[in-house]
Structure 1
């Protein structure tokens, strides 16, 4: 991943946010959780993960698939890899 330091910092901040939300969910579940609070935390984690996926996917598409020096075969291979990952992610 050849992103700039600013991009890496932004991605790491998103991961830290997801980690914090996961820890908060775990703590909630260890107590006497209210169902709506749990649902809200799960939704927040999913939203944060989706935001991370969008950011990394967008950067990948721009930097790797948008590269002018790829052969048609390399580009097709990259596209197939992204499709495979998206199918797995969207299950």
Structure 2
């Protein structure tokens, strides 16, 4: 994933924020917080993960599907990889 190098620090920062949010969910569960509060925390995690996924999909499309100079086989492989992820995510 060398094409992610340019935004590597941004993606790591997002990942670390998500880890912090998951930690907040765990702490809320351990502290027996109100279910509404936990639902909000989980929804925030989901939103953050979706944002990270969106960002990586954009990078994948740019590097493995739409980049000039790719062969038809390379484009098909990039498309197939992305479809597999989308299918897995949508289950």
Q: Same fold (TM over 0.5)?
A: yes
1-structure distance, mates of 2:79, 2:32 = 46
TM-score (norm 2): 0.91
Q: CA, structure 1 residues 10+26, in 2 after alignment: closer, same or farther (shift >3 Å)?
A: same
Q: Tell me the residue number matched to 1:89.
A: 89
TM-score (norm 1): 0.91
2-structure distance, mates of 1:32, 1:64 = 45
Q: Does 1:41 align with 2:49?
A: no
1-structure distance, mates of 2:56, 2:20 = 20
Unaligned runs of 5+ residues in structure 1 are: none
Alignment of 1:64-75 (within 5 A): 64-75=64-75
1-structure distance, mates of 2:12, 2:74 = 29
1-structure distance, mates of 2:45, 2:53 = 12
Aligned length: 90
RMSD: 1.1
